[in-house]
């Protein structure tokens, strides 16, 4: 008789399979969390860029007419922005309030305050403050605004 060798095949144990499944689960969850936070950060960055552009647009439009006290952004920017007179952040202490507006862009609400100050004869400071909220809520008011962008420019009048 020829002796035959029994071949032994090595198999994975239940413990090894469970450990591999646990590692795979952790990797999948970490990837999902990373993608979620990346998307959230991209949305926040987009909102901040929109607020900065909006502030610059208001500021440059107002400066284009030499900082006139009769500036009405709904006349100058009404076709490009959905804006209404409404609540806005407080103006700086030594500035004169021109108006406060609520602006909707890409489904997000921004609150804008325009104010001015005559620095000296012939020189006027124009101040634009844009506030918005990054919190996820169904109803957003000015009190929820947790971010602020402020821009001041000067014009000869």
Residue 2 lies in a domain: no
Output the tens digit of pLDDT for each of the chain's 157 residues.
Answer: 455 666 666 778 899 999 999 999 999 999 999 999 999 999 999 999 999 999 999 999 999 999 999 999 988 887 778 889 988 999 999 999 999 999 998 888 899 999 999 999 999 999 999 999 887 766 677 778 888 999 999 999 8
Check residue 82 and give its pLDDT: 86
Residue 8 lies in a domain: no
Distant-in-sequence, close-in-space partners of 94: CB < 8 Å, separation ≥ 6? 117
Helix (H) or strand (E) holding 58: helix 14-64
Check residue 151 and give its pLDDT: 95
Residue 72 lies in a domain: yes
Check residue 155 and give its pLDDT: 94
Residue 3 lies in a domain: no
Provide the domain limits for residue 133.
14-156
Tally of domains within the chain: 1
Check residue 153 and give its pLDDT: 95
Check residue 22 and give its pLDDT: 97
> Taking a C-beta distance cutoff of 8 angstroms, is the pair 111, 101 a contact?
yes
Check residue 6 and give its pLDDT: 62
d(CA 23, CA 20): 5
Residue 141 lies in a domain: yes
Residue 51 lies in a domain: yes
> Taking a C-beta distance cutoff of 8 angstroms, is the pair 132, 145 a contact?
yes
Residue 1 lies in a domain: no
Residue 9 lies in a domain: no
């Amino acid at each position: 008789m020829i002796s035959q060798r029994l071949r032994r095949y090595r198999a994975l144990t239940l413990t090894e399979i469970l450990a591999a499944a646990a590692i795979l689960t952790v990797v999948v969850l970490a990837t999902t969390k990373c993608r979620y936070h990346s998307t959230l950060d991209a949305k926040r960055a987009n909102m901040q860029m929109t607020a900065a552009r909006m502030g610059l647009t208001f500021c440059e439009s107002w400066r284009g007419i030499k900082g006139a006290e009769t500036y009405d952004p709904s006349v100058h920017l009404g076709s490009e922005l959905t804006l209404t007179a409404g609540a806005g952040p407080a103006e700086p202490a030594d500035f004169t309030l021109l108006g406060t507006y609520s602006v909707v862009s890409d489904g997000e609400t921004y609150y804008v305050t325009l104010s001015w100050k005559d620095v000296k004869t012939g020189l006027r400071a124009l101040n634009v403050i844009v506030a918005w909220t990054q919190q996820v809520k169904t109803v957003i008011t000015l009190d929820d605004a947790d971010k602020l962008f402020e821009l001041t420019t000067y014009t000869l009048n």
